[in-house]
Amino acid sequence: MECCNPDCSNLSSEIIVCRNCCMARYCSEACLKLDWELNHSKHCRPHIYTLNDLQIVSNPNSYKLGRGSYGEVRLITTIKGEKLALKSISKSLIETKIPLKTLYREISIHRSLCHRNIIKLHDHLEDSSNVYLVLEYAEQGNLFTFIKRKRKLTEIEAWNFFTQVCLGINYLHEQKVIHRDIKPENILLGNHDIIKICDFGWCAFGSEERSTFCGTLDYMAPEVLNLDHYSYEVDIWALGVLLYEMLHGHEPFRAKSDRAKCKLILDKTFNFGSGISDEAKSLIRSLLTDAYLRPNIKEILKHEWIRKYAQNPDFEEAYVVSHPDYGNGVITNISGLICEVEFGDTRQEFIINDLIEKCTFKEFKDEEDYRNSASGIGLVKLDRESIENIEENKAESEEKKYDNLEISQSALQAKIRELNQLKIILESPMQNPAKKKNPVKKESAFDSLLSSFSCVKR
């Protein structure tokens, strides 16, 4: 991303941002100051709330939602009665434990995100004592508490939560963001068991490889412990630890000391408990392996364990998709939560949820109706009769093509016979006494006949 100063073409720094909106990024403090004076102050995104708009819920049993190293999260209401969560970060800790630029990087990245499985950051405020993050409220607390309350989850329960986390992580990776601290404590549960990934304190852009030692030890990938360069694969490793913990009720690498735990992680040494299906074991093993061997999110969502519990979508193979970016295509395969669509000579894979969000369903009566509807954006259902008609038309087209080919071949053979006869005549001394005197005429006639073949094509 380029510096937001229009007179600068340098790449922006992820930690130099406008402190008011946290959306504009700059390459230097000088560019930030200059752009504020000339441009940005007139267009800076205003705050949604003021501290006077927010009221902490007074019920002592429910107002405190959580507490971290740098502050606490409280339940609040707006003047309109909307429930939100307020995360407060003490300014006394900002310079000693949290670099100010790191905090504003978190706010900048988080505020730019918008996805069903990402907790929404509505606004950020501050007073003389604290910086406040105004967040979406997740009614059911975090996944860590949920797992401990149930001891461990069934595979179907784990499947529901795991696939949602995968969708959220896929969105982050598409936005070039690495979370770097995926764990049950940072996964919240909203209404209807909707997963919400939260806490972007360690997030970073994945445009370049990282080597920062950060995160939570139980969920750290081996490359982080080794201080190697790493990228999106660290989130994939964390997904493997998460799935293991949901199914067992504890993390896979358990030891009496951190040093011993690090060795287990580096050696990738863990055991499965009883009652875990072979499909789940296979997926976990594929995630808790070397970085270059780990699958990406789409590959995860095609895994046999995902397919085992996936419900059939409201569409199937041979449905026609009209996509806003790729045009019209046909669904050729559905595997787990991934749908493969053929667009002419290319094939694209889509997460089914993403495809549904971009498309609508329509059933048409005939081919003309299909052609009329195909210019819009939608998922079009081919009924049986329409499919048969299209297949018949394809077959007729193929037959005509082969008929034309046979005609062309017949014409070619006739021309060849004619050519051979002419050649015999021209080469015969009895039929052409002038042959030895004027061979050029033979060649001229021969070339003339060859030129007539230009209109005969296969």
Active site residues: 181
Side chain identity, residue 165: V
Over the range 354-375, which residues count as b (16 or more CB within 10 Å of their CB) and which as e? ebbeebeebebeeeeebeeebe
Helix (H) or strand (E) holding 71: strand 71-78
Is the distance from CB of 264 to CB of 255 less than 8 angstroms?
A: yes
Q: Is 255 annotated as a binding residue?
A: no
Phi-psi region of 137 (alpha: psi -120 to 50; beta: other; left: phi over 0): beta
Report the distance separating Cα 187 and Cα 182, nearest Å.
8
DSSP one-letter code for 319? -
Q: Is 64 annotated as a binding residue?
A: no
If one counts every other C-beta atom within 10 angstroms of the C-beta of residue 12, the result is 21
Chain centroid to CA 366: how far? 35
Q: Is 185 annotated as a binding residue?
A: yes
Report the distance separating Cα 16 and Cα 3, nearest Å.
10
Q: Is 186 annotated as a binding residue?
A: yes
Is the distance from CB of 173 to CB of 123 less than 8 angstroms?
A: no
Q: Which residue has the tokens 């490889």?
A: 209
Report the distance separating Cα 3 and Cα 35, nearest Å.
10
Q: Is 87 annotated as a binding residue?
A: yes
Phi, psi at residue 62, to the nearest 5°? -130, -10
Report the distance separating Cα 210 and Cα 166, nearest Å.
22
Angle CA(52)–CA(58)–CA(64) in degrees, nearest 5? 95
Transcribe 80-134 into DSSP letters. T--EEEEEEEEHHHHTTTS-HHHHHHHHHHHHT---TTB--EEEEEE-SSEEEEE
Q: Is 258 annotated as a binding residue?
A: no
Is the distance from CB of 183 to CB of 201 less than 8 angstroms?
A: no
Q: Is 138 annotated as a binding residue?
A: yes
Side chain identity, residue 399: E
Transcribe 329-374 into DSSP letters. EEEEEEETTEEEEEETTEEEEEEHHHHHHH--EEE-SSHHHHHHHT
Picking from 99, 98, 72, the residue whose alpha carbon sits closest to that of residue 86 is 72
Q: Which residue has the tokens 């501290």?
A: 51
Which amino acids are annotated as binding site, given as ranges? Answer: 87, 136-138, 185-186, 199
Which amino acids are annotated as binding site for ATP, given as ranges? Answer: 87, 136-138, 185-186, 199
